[in-house]
Amino acid sequence: MTALRNGSRGLAVRQLQNQLNGHGAGLYVDGDFGDNTEAAVRAYQLKVGLVDDGVAGSKTLAALAGADISRLLKRKDLQQAAERLGVPLASVMAVNQVESKGEGFLANGRPVILFERHVMFARLQANGMTEAEAEQSAAQYPALVNRRTGGYAGGTVEHQRLAQAKQIHVASALESASWGLFQIMGYHWERLGYMDAQHFADTMSLSEAAQLDAFVCFIETDPALHKALKGKKWAEFAKRYNGPAYAKNLYDVKLARAYAQFAGEHAQEQAA
């Protein structure tokens, strides 16, 4: 679903404006997503507790349609994360906007995952399998165990791949998937303070707030990453979180822009 934001136009915007008017926005319904519509979206997001970014994405549209939003990320979750990390709320909002997958759950209620077959090859050995045995598994199940990356199917099919991999080795399979909003790899479970890989996976299935908590732990347990976030060193943060290809995707530029936007908005709120 394409998010509606300032500058969007068309029938979907008209429908959004009508829905917002149902909550007292008082907008002129013209199908043009301008400053007034953005302000109305932000006001509605604050009213229901969602992250107030002024963008009508799938979560905001779902809330307007009356869907259950209890497992979705809330503004208070980001505020608590900011306090815990000792950084401005704008920094956490910027990271959430740029680094998250946007949604932590699929339409069927399962957490968003991506199964990494090359990680499975390594985790099998980390969990006691010999290299020869791992090679044998790779020869038998190349889509699930492989020295090479790839084989992604996306969406709900990733859970099918995970279920098949669990038939080979449960813990290794859970450790070989990235989980939730911030796609934290399962093999980080011990570093992040979970009892085991299953406990980590079960927690990622609870809520987006639980997924954010894992991300906060990920930052806290990496002093250099935490320092970069505190210092707003966006290039350093992006490099450590996304790897050397961060510049190609302009992650640092996107983070800096998002931070400036949210910091400016919060300053205006405080001045009002």
Task: Share the mean pLDDT of the chain.
Answer: 94
Closest CA to 160 of 206, 106, 104: 106
pLDDT, tens only, 10-20: 999 999 999 99
pLDDT score for 156: 95
Distance CA 187, CA 171 (A): 9
8 A C-beta contact, residue 75 and residue 82: no
pLDDT band at 186 (very low <50, low <70, confident <90, very high): very high
pLDDT, tens only, 96-110: 988 888 889 998 999
DSSP-assigned letters across all residues of 121-139: HHHHHHTT--HHHHHHHHH
Question: Residue 4: helix, strand or coil by DSSP?
Answer: strand
8 A C-beta contact, residue 113 and residue 158: yes
8 A C-beta contact, residue 117 and residue 163: no
Q: Is 234 exposed, middle or buried (0-12, 13-18, 19+ CB in 10 A)?
A: buried
pLDDT score for 270: 61
Taking residue 205's Cβ as centre, other Cβ atoms within 10 Å add up to 17
Q: According to DSSP H, which parts of the chain are helical?
A: 11-21, 35-48, 58-64, 75-85, 89-99, 117-126, 131-140, 157-166, 170-175, 197-204, 208-220, 223-230, 234-242, 251-271
Instruction: Assess whether pLDDT exceeds 80 at residue 170.
Output: yes
pLDDT score for 264: 82
pLDDT, tens only, 22-53: 999 999 999 999 999 999 999 999 999 999 98
Find the helix packing angle between 131-140 and 117-126, rounded to 10°. Answer: 150
pLDDT, tens only, 204-260: 999 999 999 999 999 999 999 999 999 999 999 999 998 888 988 899 999 999 999
Q: What percent of the chain has pLDDT over 90?
A: 87
Average pLDDT rounded to a whole number, residues 195-202: 98
Paired with 105 in beta bridges are 111
pLDDT score for 268: 65
Task: Output the six-digit token pair for 87.
Answer: 């950084």
Q: Is 93 exposed, middle or buried (0-12, 13-18, 19+ CB in 10 A)?
A: buried
